[in-house]
Structure 1
Amino acid sequence: MNGSRRRFLAATGTAVAGGCSAPESDPVSPTDHERTETTIGFAGDTMLGRDLNGHYGRDDVDPASVWGDLQPRLESLDGVCCNLECCLSRRGDPFPGRTFHFRGDPGWAVPALDAGNVRFASLANNHAMDYGAVALTDTIDALEAAGIDVAGAGESPAAAREPATFSVGAVDVAVVSFADRYVGYSATDDRPGIAHIKPDPADPDTQRIVGEAIERAQANDPDLLVASVHWGPNWVERPSKLLVDFGHWLVDRGVDLVHGHSAHVVQAIERYDDGVVLHDTGNFVDDFGIKGDLGNDRSFLFEVTLEGGRLEEIRLVPIAIDDGVSRASEDEAAWLRETMRARSAPFETTYERDGDGLVVSL
């Protein structure tokens, strides 16, 4: 039983004995306790390099303007978690053998993340070391100096696999972060890098590495245990059976929320047992352009609300990406609602209309 479930049972006056629930002799009414609500935004791939540097890195441009009219929404949340799909550094050389290299100038990118209310950034992905080890360590240093927690990369394999622990609103959060690509960026005993794994629940190394990281996270007794995972190929609308099985395996081991990213398009939300899998949260900000009719320039901000430490609902706020972020137009939002419903149909996830977006009750 995770920390969230224990706190929920305690708040509702329920004791657990012998694996069954039984009323306490003197139950306490929930109204006797202050009920607290926390909402955390989960966002997809966040790339603050290349062409974005040329605009938002200028002295006459406010870094916060990258968020457009979405910024008030971001500020209204208790915090935001994202996958940082680039390094933040002015140093390093392009990593050999790679087609794309993403690097943002920390002089504007870090203030932009702060203005977007980002509290955590996953660094386990296939672009964190695009400019070598020095740029990766610069990224970690710059984010931590700004009070933004990180996981998924570090000076050694042990450091890269170390959970991030922090508080958002009334919720204690722990995040483990892993990527299934790029193996060439893996942390080694001699070089910083990312936490790389095979997203296969039958793989012994994965069982050991990820299992041990989850156990370390659970030792902090978090209200919310998140696995932020960069998994699967780009430009794919639905997760493979292997990734679905791996998401279930993570929940079976105590993860409350799987924060998936990598495909660059939004995929399904799945409720599984006591957990939730965001199979892919799509893009958040980038200069990738439009890839066919996949809608990679349209996405959601996934707002996860907890009440008394318990997952209550997920609100999907439609966004549009065009070298910056904005609230989606009426037509874009309609496309996103229809698309998310279709991509979630295999998991029988039910959405209710919520303004221009959607909401899932948990």
Structure 2
Amino acid sequence: MTTRRTVLASSLAAFGGCLGRVSEVESTCPAPVSTNETVRLGFVGDVMLGRNVNDRWRDEPAGVWDGMLDRIDALDGLLLNLECCVSARGERRPGREYYFQAHPDWAIPALERAGTAFASSANNHVLDYGPTALTDTLAHLDAAGIPTAGAGRDRESAFEPAVFAVDDLDVAVVAATDQSPSYAARGDAAGSAYAPLKSADRLTRNWVGDAVVRARERDPDLLVVSLHWGPNWEVEPSETQRSFARWLIDRGADVVHGHSAHVIQGVETYRGRPIIYDAGDFVDDYVVKDGLHNNWSFLFELAVSNGTLTALDLVPVEIERERVTPAGGTAARWLRDRMRTLSAPFETTFERRDAGLRIPLGEC
């Protein structure tokens, strides 16, 4: 396979503690991905399969996707944040307000039915039921052939990129979180891929930066960085998040896939690459916050055609009775208006696409 972005090679090799060469990276547009196939990848935010969701769908795993199955089936793969552990074992970690656990007998078939190509485990609920449940989660995903990254039996494995194929597209994903430092994996303890997620922070450079370098060395067609970051209920990314997302793309990321706030945030295109600052919630049983509509979000569909990222389609969805469905007219209209408003600071270009929106890609 053709090696991509040779213009980045010297910068990546020297990346360890050097931030002074960003201009070298920014001077040349990213090369197109090297596949000749048309591939559509779906990106969504939090998929929480515990509590009421677990109770409702244990006997009908596909029901959690409800009317979205036709749309999901048209994708070549779905990438999501798995906001729970998947295990029938473990004990609740003391001092937590919310605990999310899904039984593997139904949760794994549900993820398989959705065509899950990747499930991030870098979040603040992966250790809710302790290291036993975390280990079970990783084992169940592995047995089902669902790649994951962002948690592990120790720090090194937690930051290990996932590498997998979607049709003829070779994909690498680095996953990390700045939530719940107490859940961080240690040298000899299981946990999440925790880092402050600031480009000026040494821990972030050492662990997240090194993971990006290692992923890039695998020469994937598409490099995704999946981030569970920022406080809940914030509708705008912080300047630190904006800076960090661009920093990642300058170092080789093709997509920055954010989640954690439980509400959608704006989308930016930077050097022809999409930054989804927060995808919102895709499945949960959460209380709906006044004015925030945390039960309304998007399925983000990335099109890779003839070797190029060509478009990001935003398909409006809503959560109703612990399932995800196509958004009704009122919700879809609100989501379109909201996304345009939130993305205005980034000067993002939108086109109307059925009930949703389309962002053209490919231009630096």
Computing the radius of gyration from Cα coordinates, the structure with the larger value is 1
- Correspondence for 2:359: 360
Separation (CA, whole Å) in 2 of partners of 1:216 and 1:4 = 14
Separation (CA, whole Å) in 2 of partners of 1:263 and 1:289 = 14
Query: 1:37 is aligned with what amino acid?
Result: T
Instruction: Tell me if the contact between 1:5 and 1:310 (Cα under 8 Å) persists in the aligned partners.
Output: no
Instruction: Tell me if the contact between 1:82 and 1:120 (Cα under 8 Å) persists in the aligned partners.
Output: yes
Structure 2: where are the runs of 5+ without partners? 7-26
Separation (CA, whole Å) in 1 of partners of 2:305 and 2:228 = 28
- Cα-to-partner distance string for 1:30-51 (whole Å, 9 max, x where unaligned): xxx9942000000100000001
SS in 2 for 1:77: coil
- Correspondence for 1:294: 292
Among 205, 217, 220, the alignment partner of 2:218 is 220
Separation (CA, whole Å) in 2 of partners of 1:20 and 1:40 = 26
Instruction: Tell me if the contact between 2:90 and 2:133 (Cα under 8 Å) persists in the aligned partners.
Output: yes
Q: Are 2:154 and 1:153 equivalent residues in the alignment?
A: no
- The residue correspondences of 1:37-186 to structure 2 (distance < 5 A) are 37-58=38-59, 62-186=60-184
Separation (CA, whole Å) in 2 of partners of 1:3 and 1:183 = 37
- Correspondence for 1:339: 338
SS in 2 for 1:227: strand
Instruction: Tell me if the contact between 2:35 and 2:169 (Cα under 8 Å) persists in the aligned partners.
Output: no
- Correspondence for 1:284: 282
Separation (CA, whole Å) in 1 of partners of 2:221 and 2:280 = 25
Q: How many Å apart are 1:5 and its aligned residue?
A: 5.7
Separation (CA, whole Å) in 2 of partners of 1:39 and 1:237 = 27
Instruction: Tell me if the contact between 2:36 and 2:307 (Cα under 8 Å) persists in the aligned partners.
Output: no
Identity of aligned residues (%): 47
Structure 1: where are the runs of 5+ without partners? 7-18, 22-32
Structure 1 132/298 Cα, relative in aligned 2: closer, same or farther at 3 Å? Answer: same
- Correspondence for 1:312: 310
- Correspondence for 1:242: 240
Coordinate RMSD, CA, aligned: 1.7
Among 264, 272, 275, the alignment partner of 2:273 is 275
SS in 2 for 1:81: strand
Separation (CA, whole Å) in 2 of partners of 1:179 and 1:92 = 22
Instruction: Tell me if the contact between 2:84 and 2:101 (Cα under 8 Å) persists in the aligned partners.
Output: yes
Query: 1:151 is aligned with what amino acid?
Result: A
SS in 2 for 1:267: coil
- Cα-to-partner distance string for 1:42-64 (whole Å, 9 max, x where unaligned): 01000000011211113xxx210
Q: Give TM-score scaled by structure 1 length.
A: 0.90
Separation (CA, whole Å) in 2 of partners of 1:35 and 1:195 = 33
Separation (CA, whole Å) in 1 of partners of 2:336 and 2:272 = 25
SS in 1 for 2:41: strand
- Correspondence for 2:9: none
Deviation >6 Å, runs of 4+: none
- Correspondence for 2:21: none
Higher mean C-alpha deviation, range 268-277 or range 323-332: 268-277
Separation (CA, whole Å) in 1 of partners of 2:149 and 2:35 = 32
Separation (CA, whole Å) in 2 of partners of 1:105 and 1:73 = 26
Separation (CA, whole Å) in 1 of partners of 2:107 and 2:330 = 30
Separation (CA, whole Å) in 2 of partners of 1:206 and 1:140 = 24
Q: Give TM-score scaled by structure 2 length.
A: 0.89
Query: 1:97 is aligned with what amino acid?
Result: G
Count residues in correspondence. 335
